[in-house]
Structure 1
């Protein structure tokens, strides 16, 4: 009898699982854009979590990419399908079981891709911290892959007790429909990766989503001014550009990178 997978610890960032999850595909970026630089701009716009795909990269290059992204302050970095010690966790495909993840050096967060309500229930029972349920709509990234799910699937999936993010053909104008259907939030790949200004697209998506549970509404003033001066103006957070130093930890997140 195989050992039961260890249940993941709580989401490492503040506020619990995010309302917006970005999936990467550097092949869809505009010519001349780097993936690390693009994600850094998105973090400045408010992004809190990213799933790194890039399956064509060799293991060392992919590990270096994950480590570079993990140095962005406040960003939870999740490795798609392949556990990696530089990441905060792993995102499993629908067919993958968590046994390999539980015995790996990956971080504590486990997510899962699902395409049916039954798969969401299984993922919740196995300790997933979140799931993406797709396709919500027709996806230009995967034309003809699967027909869109009925909207009722999202409300049914939410009853499983795990945050459900709608994925597939999601743009800023689809956020309200996803939330109304019962999704916790949205997961987006092509809509951000193909955008002329990915950070502006992230900001537009976040503006249509509820804030994290621990984050006060933008109109609520802070209780007191933090040391070092006033907080950044709404929509203009302090810079999160990658640092040349390996000593700067990600804010409120456990360190998930190899020694320099």
Structure 2
């Protein structure tokens, strides 16, 4: 896996700035992987946003992942698909994916992680590790020990999500996790580019 920082979009957290503007800023700061989530957007708006992000990521050689909407991912030549809890099963997404397309699976337990790997996921996003408002609907924070258990249970790279800030990166990586997935710590930052750089530095020095 050629990236360790995985930005997950949420246009409501960008301090009223356009999402594309914030992502562009992060890409310029060194971000190399973006997941377009925005589950509530109608298909037309989602596709337009995906097209803009596809152009932005291509300019710097970054990867674009689409959450769930495999038709959009195929149409725009996205680098991968992210399976969420309400997406098609990993096995089905794998059957629809283009050759070479990566598939990430969002999981909340060891059993889910093992199943995702068995069904063809290239990497796992596990959480919530720490408390964070965006992940409270998925249950209480599971903690570092649970993350370590998931890492040991699978052979594919694991990204931690939920309450991740630069100061927590070292503890996350100490479990054997490959990287971190981030939403608010970057998108809601006063200077998203600086937050991106802080994460990259933490990931590189841990």
TM range (shorter): 0.7 to 0.9
Contact 1:109 1:129 in 2 (8 A): yes
Aligned residues: 195
In 1, the alpha carbon distance for the partners of 2:110 and 2:2 equals 19
Native 8 Å contact 1:52 1:80 kept in 2: yes
Question: Which residue of structure 1 lines up, in the alignment, with residue 103 of structure 2?
Answer: 110
TM-score between the two structures when normalised by the length of structure 2: 0.87
Alignment-derived partner of residue 29 in structure 2 = 45
Cα RMSD of the aligned pairs, angstroms, is: 1.9
Which position in structure 2 is the counterpart of 1:200? 194
* Alpha-carbon distance in 2 for matches of 1:113, 1:141: 14
* Match for residue 190 of structure 1 among 184, 192, 200: 184
Residue 94 of structure 1, CA deviation? 3.7
Higher helix share goes to which structure? 2
Helix, strand or coil: the match of 1:122?
Answer: helix
1:27 corresponds to 2:20: no
The gaps in structure 1 that reach 5 residues or longer are 1-15, 212-260
1:123/1:103 Cα in 2 relative to 1: closer, same or farther (>3 Å)?
A: closer
Structure with the bigger RCO (C-alpha within 8 Å, sep 6+) is 1
Matched, 1:90 2:81: yes
1:80 aligns to what?
67
Match of 2:93 in 1: 101
Question: CA separation in 2, counterparts of 1:112 and 1:53?
Answer: 13
- Equivalent position of 1:180 in the other structure: 174
Instruction: Give the TM-score normalised by the residue count of structure 1.
Output: 0.70
Q: Following the alignment from structure 1 to structure 2, what is the Cα–Cα distance between the partners of residues 142 and 153? A: 16
Residue 133 of structure 2 aligns to a residue in which SS?
Answer: coil
Give the C-alpha shift of residue 158 in structure 1: 2.0
Q: Which runs of 5+ in 2 are unaligned?
A: none
State which of 101, 119, 130 in structure 2 corresponds to 1:126.
119
